[in-house]
Amino acid sequence: MEKLNEIAAAFPCPGTYLGDEPYGSGHINDTFKAFYEVDGQQVHYIHQRVNHTIFKDVPGLMENIGQVTRHQRAKFKEAGATEIDRRVLTLVPTAEDKDFYQDSEGNFWRTYIFVEGAVGIDVIENTDQAYESAKAFGAFQCQLADLPGRLNDTIPNFHHTRSRFDTLKNAIDADIHNRAAGVQAEIAFAFERESMVDVVIDLMATGEIPERVTHNDTKLNNVLIDTETGTGMCVIDLDTVMPGSVLYDFGDMIRTTTNQAVEDERDLSKVEMNIDYFAALVKGYLETASGFLTPKEKELLPMSGALITFEIGLRFLTDYLEGDTYFKTHREGQNVDRCRKQFKMVRSMEEQMDAMQKIVEGK
């Protein structure tokens, strides 16, 4: 890509720039693995174009990432950790000592040191991976529990389930594409669980649950796993790091890690929450996060999975009713199938809630 010559010049990485190739499975930003030669050895960096259509406040977003990664680095140094460049993302500053570069076309770019010998796993294969990812996310939150000040709210109300529910109700009332009649079962499922949407919001409003620095996209593949040891090394994809509740983070771990079915799975017999994966998540998370969690946060960990899964299901259903304008679709009815998968996961969690609660209480 010709533009990357300009980007390579903007970030003074040591060595001679050799070229680049597309990297990773992300769908939002454009990511490239860049190759440099230093003293006869090849070293790697990540050049990444941030999607400013999705992320409206890139300077605020990058300010968050800079604060977070530097705080992490200080924590690792304080603890005497080794291989720190593999344990925390390292931003390479521009020649003007900024964390991002805006090119001649107005696009925003950043550069990270490439984390060698570690990969993101898209589909879970065993309980060890659930344990390691949850342990890494818990450690990430723990490191940031004393971060000074308050991060920028780069996406206001990112997890605000009441507003998501109200948007669904408006979409049902408007029914601009005459689709509501075909999803009455899904609408009924949503309305039967309306009481769920305010639980975390209300507890945060009263201060019973504290606002914390949270990742807000805790998928399995956002923890890099060491290819030799299987250890969770580095939490990545920090674009949505901002103030929030740890319950949303842990809930999304449950949602994305405890089932192997694809997002739009039509055979709902394949959609069940795997209680062994859940137990591994709890074990890993509480090993690193229990020191700062309040009793109320710990108590609500099982419920958090159902809440965040329900929220995502609401969003898929709303988008279907509004004409599939937000989530990309490749076939008719895909958003309905996505919604049904999420709602089936909610039901599976509800059916296993007592067992989930006992697992948490036993830690």
Averaged pLDDT, 142-157 = 93
Averaged pLDDT, 27-42 = 89
The domain spans of the chain are: 3-116, 127-361
**pLDDT(1) > 60:** no
CATH code for the part of the protein at 127-361: 3.90.1200.10
Per-residue pLDDT at 156:
85
Long-range contacts of 198-201 (CB under 8 A, 24+ apart): 198/161, 198/162, 199/300, 199/303, 199/307, 200/161, 200/245, 200/247, 200/248, 200/300, 200/304, 200/307, 201/160, 201/161, 201/162
CATH code for the part of the protein at 3-116: 3.30.200.20
* Torsions phi, psi for 312 (to 5 deg): -65, -40
Per-residue pLDDT at 31:
92
pLDDT digits (tens, 9 = 90+) for 312-334: 999 999 999 999 988 888 999 99
pLDDT digits (tens, 9 = 90+) for 206-237: 999 999 999 999 999 999 999 999 999 999 99
**Rounded Cα–Cα distance for residues 111 and 116 (Å):** 15
- Residue-wise DSSP of 180-202: GGGGHHHHHHHHHTGGGGGHHHH
Task: Answer for the pair 7, 102: CB distance below 8 angstroms, yes or no.
Answer: no
pLDDT digits (tens, 9 = 90+) for 93-144: 999 999 999 998 999 999 999 999 999 998 899 999 999 999 999 999 999 9
**Rounded Cα–Cα distance for residues 169 and 157 (Å):** 18
Proportion of the chain above pLDDT 90, given as a percent: 87
